[in-house]
């Protein structure tokens, strides 16, 4: 299931999908000071808080910070600037500039008003469904992150490490099997749109749960297949799905482990396939249920 995207007007499509730019000083949020949250116009993902906004007098809304993991950057087609996009749906937002010394953070996200939707903090909280988190280890986190992120109801997916014995491990330590961590994805999801069981089924269907020494060509303890559960219900769900697969002659080796400290991986691991333009080499969908 793909994320639900809003149907755009002709003007919105020109900016959001065709990477256009609205006229300076013409946008709804240029001279706008209400307290609240700025969402992506296309997928409603929260992007900026009103406290991030400042008046740069440039003609477009400016923000010197962002909600964590909401924005991604890539070189602009003009070869000079850096484009910013919604990390959830690739909607074009505008550009980011560093070193202008307009605020203490020395950062300016220059954003088209038409790419955003503003809501008050109260309205956002009242309409925001409960968000839960799930943790899966299915080999290299790049592929699991990429495929999980496409599901409707999934808000965000972060690659990281879990299950080890040292704090804040580096990738090199995890790869050397000296830290005891597995490569894990942290999935933030809306329970009213997708269930833990649906995510767990997909987890089993996008990797090989019968491979004990890694995943595909990636071999090593850090690629162990495992689910880190937070309560008895999640444990029972995984046990039920493993039993179903066992009846279907799958020799499942996936481990069920208790939830432990999650450590976010280095930035270059986040959204790897989206940023590189490549496709997963050891993860693909195979219906099993």
Which residues are catalytically annotated?
Answer: 110, 140
Q: How far apart are CA 50 and CA 68, in angstroms?
A: 14
Q: How would you class 51 by CB atoms within 10 Å of its CB: exposed for 0-12, middle for 13-18, buried for 19 or more?
A: exposed
Instruction: Of 34, 28, 67, give the one whose Cα is nearest residue 48.
Output: 67
Pairing of strands 182-190, 131-138: antiparallel
Angle at alpha carbon of residue 287, lines to 282 and 289, rounded to 5°: 130
**Residue 109 and residue 210: Cα distance in Å, rounded?**
46
Contact 142, 115 (CB under 8 A): no
């Amino acid at each position: 299931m793909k994320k639900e995207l809003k149907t755009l007007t002709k003007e919105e499509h020109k900016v959001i999908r065709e990477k256009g730019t609205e006229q300076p000083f013409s946008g709804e949020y240029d001279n706008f000071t209400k307290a609240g949250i700025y969402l992506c116009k296309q997928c409603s993902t929260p992007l900026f808080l009103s406290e991030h906004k400042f008046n740069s007098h440039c003609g477009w809304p400016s923000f010197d910070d962002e909600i964590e993991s909401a924005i991604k950057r890539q070189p602009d087609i003009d070869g000079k600037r850096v484009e910013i996009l919604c990390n959830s749906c690739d909607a074009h937002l505008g550009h980011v500039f560093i070193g202008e010394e307009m605020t203490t953070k020395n950062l300016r996200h220059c954003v088209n008003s038409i790419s955003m939707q503003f809501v008050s903090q109260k309205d956002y909280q009242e309409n925001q469904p409960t968000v839960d988190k799930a943790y899966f280890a299915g080999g290299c986190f790049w592929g699991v992150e990429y495929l999980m992120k496409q599901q409707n109801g999934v808000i965000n997916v972060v690659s990281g490490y879990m299950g080890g014995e040292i704090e804040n491990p580096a990738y090199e330590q995890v790869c050397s099997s000296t830290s005891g961590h597995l490569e894990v994805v942290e999935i933030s999801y809306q329970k009213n749109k997708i269930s833990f069981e649906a995510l767990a089924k997909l987890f089993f269907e996008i990797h090989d749960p019968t491979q004990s020494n890694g995943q595909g060509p990636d071999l090593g303890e850090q690629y162990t297949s495992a689910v880190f559960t937070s309560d008895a219900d999640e444990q029972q769900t995984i046990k039920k799905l493993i039993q179903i697969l066992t009846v279907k002659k799958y020799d499942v080796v996936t481990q069920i482990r208790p939830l432990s400290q999650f450590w976010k991986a280095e930035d270059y691991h986040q959204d790897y396939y989206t940023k590189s333009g490549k496709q997963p080499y050891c993860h693909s969908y195979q219906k099993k249920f």
